[in-house]
Structure 1
Amino acid sequence: MTPTAMLLVALVAALCAMGLLMVLSASAVKSLDTGGSPYRFFTKQALFVGMGAVAMWVMSRFDHRRLRELARPLVGVSFGLLFLLAIPGNPLAVTVNGSRRWLGVGFVQFQPSELAKIAIIVFAADLLANRRDQMGDPVRTVRPVMAVLAVFAAFVMLQPDLGTTVLLAVLAFAILGVAGATPTGLATYATPALAVGAAASMWGYRRARMLAFLDPWEHPTTSGYQTLQAQVSLASGGWFGSGIGTSRAKYGFLPEAHTDFVYAIIGEEFGLAGALVVQALYLLFFFAGLRVARTARDRFSKLVATGIATWIGIQAFVNLGVATGALPNKGITLPFLSYGGSSIIITMAAAGILINIARSQGMAVPTRTSAESATGAAAR
């Protein structure tokens, strides 16, 4: 295993270990209030992390190049699951806090938008790897990626989930940019996408969130409440924190303390020092992922590594920005740290793909067979 692959494994392990600790600390009070064991959320999270560890190990051993064969099936399955979620009255659709983002029954639930992140990365990487010599033609390169993005974005917005929609767009444009799409081609599609995003952010509850972001003290008991409570929690930690398990915010003051706002509890219990350590771990992961992309042996691997590093780096950046009040509330979890099943399992599987790309850099590159070459030529 290469040094970069070992670093990625260590970073994921450290973040998941801290996540388990913080989920236990942040959720114990809520578990008791709902009449359950104080370890209810922790036990589930430990199970999720265990399943994620298996998924990461499997994907770290699975030849990531074979994902090219699954590019279109992944898009199809993701589309099908998002479509099921959008069907009115579907008994399998689970609504939480006004958002229909999960499919399942009882404990077994799945968030289709998480799979969509991997699907758009693999699809875009495969398409742009096959059409390397056509990057100057946006109709052959940019348009197909934008078509998949538009379908995914439309269904994710129906949930509604603007944060994930923006993240999917960032992934698509990041891969297109690294692949060499022309600035004109990117601008042609980026301009209307930005216009739609800006309009969506100023409609309904998103407008309230935007206004609360600009001045949370104008809405201290409604849309600005979470932001203010998160800032109070962070400020209460001081330099080195109040100590593990001693947070006051988790006693009903900060909603979603073990999910979207777990970083605020980290800041309260571990202080600025602990909060900076978490930021450093994500920065290391992001730059390690970019290093894997830069040194990848083939174009497909380069683009997939770029997409995964961007995904986890940007999602962490957005969550930390929301928790500190630097960004509007987006409802995006903190990778590897926040409570959640499909989120952590799929994110760890994506980390496994990145680890496999890093591992393959120390191996001989397999020679493509004539049949594979013919398939690639046909795709082009």
Structure 2
Amino acid sequence: MRKYLAYYVRNFDYPLFFTYVFLCLFGLVMIYSSSMMVSIVYEDGTPDYFYRKQLLNLFVAALAFLVGAFFPYKHFSSKRLMQILLFTTFIFFIWLKIGGYEAGGSKSWINVFNLTMFQPSEFAKLFIILYFAGAFYRKSLNNPMENLEPNNIVYPILVWLAIIFFVGTETDFGAVLIISGIAVAVILASGIEFKKFLKFFAVITIFGSALIGFILLINGNEILTKNRIGRIKAFLNPFEYEGGSSYQIINGYIAIGSGGLEGVGLGQSVQKLGYLPEPQNDFIMAIIAEELGILGVIIVLGGLGFIVFRGLMIALTTKDPLARMIAAGIASWIAIQTFINLGGLSGLIPLTGVTLPFISYGGTSILLLSLAMGILINVSMYVKLERKKT
């Protein structure tokens, strides 16, 4: 045990770890600052309501991080564990269909025995990384990736399509985009030839498009709601609907513009005082920009960018295809989710209600992201050991 701990300390990825910790603590401070008014008006009357809940979330997330960091990453993609997680994933989604709760326009939450609220789509993001990586890795042991064809991995693709169906019928299209992007990134990192990758991509696109069409056919009235159509109109011309669909976007612009270079000061945001709904969630970057200015935005983007860069470098430098796929999947998850969040905030894409990784308020999100970060650090340690052997 002592020998293992010594090896662990020597090979631990400290830059990645401290960046993760910094972002979590920075997010905690900004959750407190951005949610003070919401906490007083809508919750229990104390300004630290969301801060206290996120602090508890971080303690639980720290345990998840330790599990991911200390257990060898190959265990997380083992066939037995994947079977258990696959069963658990679909139990969550069936539970969601029977008794899910709606928040932010999506029925994407389940009440776990009155103890906490849980979002299955967040669980599905990490699951699809581990499941695809494990499935491709086991296939490559008997048949090199260069020889694989789309029909060789029909089962994983069917699992992915089933998850997309459940998440799509929740009307959580932000999660659909992230899970789809993750699947493509893992396949691309598997070592497959580019021509065959295009075949996989074509198969996924065809089946995915057909599935989305089917979801719209059976659930179109719930998906194409007045609110969602309004978001698309707001994206196309936000200032035409500033009193309605564009209300949140316009107030986000005002917050960003008010911050300027240096910001108005921590805790001094005006837009969080009832103008910007739920500022501690997907619009938290607007409050960061208003209070801390461009410097605050650069700090957050720099931290997230470093994690993504580190993950991609781990994927590019390892010889182990399983490690490569897991690292690329986690890095792509954080990159895609960050882009969707900031794209909606800045008006580059329609709003989807996706949170900013490590920064926004949310228990399920920080729990699964922390577990993913632990696994990524575990993979990083393996890559360091791999280099020492060569």
> What is the TM-score when the length of structure 2 is the normalising length?
0.87
Amino acid at match of 2:254: V
CA distance in 1, matches of 2:11, 2:124: 30
One-letter amino acid of the counterpart of residue 103, structure 2: V
Distance verdict in 2 for CA 1:197–1:281, change over 3 Å: farther
Q: Partner residue of 2:276?
A: 254
Partner residue of 1:73 out of 68, 84, 90: 84
Q: 1:349 is matched with which residue: 353, 371, 374?
A: 371
Equivalent residue number for residue 224 of structure 2? 203
Matches for 1:240-279 after TM superposition, within 5 Å: 240-279=262-301
User: After superposition, what is the alpha-carbon deviation per residue over 1:46-98, rounded to whole angstroms, capped at 9, x for unaligned?
Assistant: 111111112112210111101122122212211110111012xx2xx222244
2:63 paired residue number: 54
Question: Partner of 1:150 in structure 2?
Answer: 161
In the other structure, the counterpart of 1:8 is 16
The equivalent position to 2:351 in structure 1, one of 315, 329, 334, is 329
| Structure with the bigger percentage of helix | 2
Pair 1:182-2:197 in alignment: yes
Match of 1:44 in 2: 53
Moved more, 26-35 or 193-202: 193-202
Match of 1:371 in 2: none
For 1:113, which of 121, 124, 129 is the aligned residue?
121
Aligned pair partner of 2:135 in 95, 106, 127: 127
Aligned-residue CA RMSD (Å): 2.1
User: Within 1, Cα distance between the matches of 2:350 and 2:10?
Assistant: 39
2-side partners of 1:340 and 1:182: how far apart?
A: 35
Deviations 1:139-196 (A, max 9, x none): 013x333211111111112222000011101111111122214312321322453576
Q: Which amino acid aligns with 2:62?
A: A
CA drift at 1:36: 2.1
SS across alignment from 1:361: helix
- Is the 2:318–2:386 Cα contact (8 Å) retained in structure 1? no
| Alignment CA distance shift 1:282-1:175 (3 Å) | same
Report the equivalent of 1:100. Answer: 107
Counterpart Cα distance in 2 of 1:174 and 1:230:
31
C-alpha distance in structure 1 between counterparts of 2:203 and 2:384, whole Å? 40
Q: 1: distance between equivalents of 2:182 and 2:280?
A: 26
Runs of 4+ with >6 A deviation: none
Aligned residues of 1:285 and 1:313 also touching (Cα < 8 A): no
1:30 pairs with 14, 19, 38, which one? Answer: 38
Aligned length: 360
Verify: 1:300 aligned to 2:322, yes or no: yes
Instruction: Tell me how far apart the structure 1 counterparts of residues 255 and 114 of structure 2 sit (CA, whole Å).
Output: 32
Amino acid at match of 2:162: V
Q: Distance in 1 between matches of 2:361 and 2:289?
A: 17
Distance (Å, rounded) in 1 between the aligned partners of 2:252 and 2:119: 26
Contact between 1:86 and 1:158, CA under 8 Å: does it hold in 2? no
Q: Distance in 2 between matches of 1:42 and 1:192?
A: 42
Q: Distance in 2 between matches of 1:203 and 1:322?
A: 18
Contact 2:35 2:272 in 1 (8 A): yes
Which runs of no fewer than 5 residues in structure 1 stay unpaired? 366-380
1:16 is displaced (CA, Å) by 0.6
Cα distance change of structure 1 residues 79 and 175 upon mapping to structure 2, 3 Å threshold: same
2:157 maps to amino acid: M
- The runs of 5 or more residues in structure 2 that have no matched partner are 1-8
Matches of 1:362 and 1:220 in 2, distance apart?
Answer: 52
With over 3 angstroms needed to count, the CA separation of the structure-2 counterparts of 1:197 and 1:270, relative to structure 1, is farther
Structure 1 stretch 260-269 or stretch 218-227: which is displaced more?
Answer: 218-227
How far is the alpha carbon of 1:233 from its aligned partner?
0.5
Maintained 8 Å contact 1:45/1:340: yes
* 2:56 alignment partner AA: L
Q: Secondary structure at the match of 1:182?
A: helix
**Letter matched to residue 48 of structure 1:** N
Between the aligned partners of 2:148 and 2:381, the Cα distance in structure 1 is 32
Q: What is the TM-score of this pair, normalised by structure 1?
A: 0.89
3-state secondary structure, aligned to 1:329: coil
